[in-house]
Amino acid sequence: MSQNPYSTRTPWTVMMLLLALAAVAAATWNWGLSGLGLTMTVLASTGIGLMARRPVQPAGDQPSSTQPPHATELSADAVAQATLPLSQPPASQPASDPPQRVDAQAQLALSRRIAEAAHTAPNLAQALHRVGEALHEHLGSRGWICLRVEGWNGESALLRPWMDTGSDGNDMIDVSAIAATHRDERPLGEALSKLSPQMAEIPRTTAANCPWRLSGTHRVVALPISIEGWPLALLEFDDPMANQTDCTAVLEIAAIQLGFVAQRDANLAHMASNAEHLSRLTLVASRISSGVAITDRDGNIEWINSAFVALTGWPEERVIGRRLPELLSKEVSDPATVSELEDHISRGVPFRLSYESARQGAQSITRYWGEIDAIQMLDETGGRSQYVCLFNDITKRKSQEHIRDQADLAGARHHLLAPGTGRPGRIRAPFPRTGRVHGRLGLRGHPVS
């Protein structure tokens, strides 16, 4: 057994400590606190130097150590576990994922299945059927049904089975299966009022009010499907095996996905209705005898019919995209007409305006009088105002008005002439003071000598 090389230094250490104490005492006796501080500084420096010169030997189980490691006893179980092949997991390590992770993976897979089933369905009815089947399998319910919500007013509604889920999305109505529900009724009415999944125990008296429900049902889960805050349908699951805590997240995901499908169907139906309405308006406008021009709120022309081109002589490529006041300013003879048109459009009010312009024909230019009868209306989306302007040729009416004005002027002149003489007659005018009437006036009211 080898002797520790550091054991021979023990007497020298004791002697050094005694000498240090003697030096401290002497310095303190002679110089006071200054001597004490100086002595302590010297001793500290000496100790640091000795410690720096002393070699440090690492432990035997550390790298670069020259000493043998200490013997460690291993148990039989540890030796057996260390000698297991790499492919075989230790007995203490679980061979499968924890239950929480398995449940999360199952819910994620179900959520993907619900999203795919909803968005690949051609209509809402098919989406409700596919998602309802997936939820029925996940919840382990005894039965399920899709209910259509009719006439919800915030307090009550009528519920009936959504019987047909064909590709056309139409359903048949069974009058005997219609039932009413109130917002306080659990779980159907409460689901409609709160627009969230609800689960409740069903009393025996309540089962008679729902003719579609399976007999002997004790618990019901209701899942509402809504659009813009108004319920459209309900999915009812009878006697589910899963509790509300386990299925709430999946039910909310299903409600969101089905809400997207309902919004998509509503948008498509609205677009189809608008397209049909617009096609009818276009057909009527294209066959009307008056010229029609549709402009935006600022007067930019967006659409014209063929009668507009025939009336004004302005081709479509020259008109579309230009402002109506700008177009008229280059065609009409009266600048006041353009200013009046600008004023009407800037104020956004309906107006009727006549103008005089020239129409370019095949071989000649024809002067004509036109009239613009404009009304303001909202577009098909209901959010943008437009002007619908009817253009009519009123040249004939203006000619008749001119002839009538000439006739009225001739009649007035005839009444001012003396009967049978053709000369201006005498017209007595009252004086301011006497009230006497005398003097002669001509055709324009001037005195005649």
CATH of the domain at 233: 3.30.450.40
* Residue 369: both structure tokens together: 């009088």
pLDDT, residue 442, reads 43
Local structure of residue 437 (DSSP, 8 states): E
Pick from 145, 142, 140: which is nearest to 128 by CA? 145
pTM to 2 decimal places: 0.49
In a domain, 99, yes or no: no
End-to-end Cα spacing for the chain: 167
Domain that holds residue 434: 417-449
In a domain, 89, yes or no: no
Q: What is the number of structural domains in the chain?
A: 4
Query: In tens digits, what is the pLDDT along the chain, a chain of 449 residues?
Result: 444 544 445 566 777 777 777 877 777 777 777 777 777 777 776 776 666 665 555 555 555 555 555 444 445 554 445 444 444 554 444 455 555 665 778 888 888 889 998 889 999 999 999 999 999 998 999 999 999 999 899 899 999 998 764 545 456 777 788 899 999 998 999 999 999 999 998 877 666 678 888 888 889 999 999 998 899 999 999 999 877 667 888 899 999 999 999 999 988 888 888 777 777 777 776 677 789 999 998 999 998 988 899 888 888 898 999 999 998 888 887 889 999 999 999 998 999 999 988 887 777 788 889 999 999 887 655 567 889 999 999 998 888 888 888 887 877 776 665 555 555 555 444 444 444 444 444 444 444 44
Q: Are residues 438 and 385 in the same domain?
A: no
Residues paired with residue 294 on neighbouring β-strands, in sequence order: 303, 388
What whole-number distance in Å separates Cα of residue 442 and Cα of residue 449?
Answer: 9
Q: Are residues 360 and 440 in the same domain?
A: no
pLDDT, residue 439, reads 43
Cβ(294)–Cβ(303) below 8 Å: yes
Query: CB neighbours (10 Å) of residue 344?
Result: 19
pLDDT, residue 57, reads 55
Question: Cα angle vertex 162, ends 232, 187, to 5°?
Answer: 60
Cβ(255)–Cβ(131) below 8 Å: no
Q: Which of 210, 241, 269 is the last residue of a domain?
A: 269
Cβ(180)–Cβ(206) below 8 Å: no
Q: Are residues 317 and 436 in the same domain?
A: no
Q: Are residues 261 and 353 in the same domain?
A: no
pLDDT, residue 142, reads 92
Query: The domain spanning residue 293 has which CATH number?
Result: 3.30.450.20
Local structure of residue 334 (DSSP, 8 states): -
Q: Are residues 296 and 362 in the same domain?
A: yes
pLDDT, residue 299, reads 92
Q: Are residues 195 and 297 in the same domain?
A: no
Q: Are residues 388 and 430 in the same domain?
A: no
The residue with tokens 């919004």 is 263
Length of the chain, in residues: 449
Pick from 98, 100, 79, 101: which is nearest to 90 by CA? 79
Q: What are the respective helix, strand and coil percentages of the chain, to the nearest 5?
A: 45, 20, 35
pLDDT, residue 129, reads 92
In a domain, 159, yes or no: yes
What whole-number distance in Å separates Cα of residue 86 and Cα of residue 210?
Answer: 62
110 residue type, one letter: L
Residues paired with residue 301 on neighbouring β-strands, in sequence order: 295
Q: Are residues 208 and 355 in the same domain?
A: no
Q: Are residues 343 and 296 in the same domain?
A: yes
Please report, for residues 128, 235, 238, 247, 389, the alpha-carbon distance to residue 136 in angstroms, rounded to integers and kept in the order given: 12, 10, 9, 11, 58
Q: Are residues 260 and 117 in the same domain?
A: yes
The helix/strand/coil state of 73 is coil
Sign of the C-alpha dihedral computed for residues 10, 11, 13 and 17 taken in this order: positive
In a domain, 214, yes or no: yes
Pick from 131, 130, 208, 123: which is nearest to 171 by CA? 123
Q: Are residues 125 and 220 in the same domain?
A: yes
pLDDT, residue 181, reads 92
Q: Are residues 260 and 323 in the same domain?
A: no
The helix/strand/coil state of 130 is helix
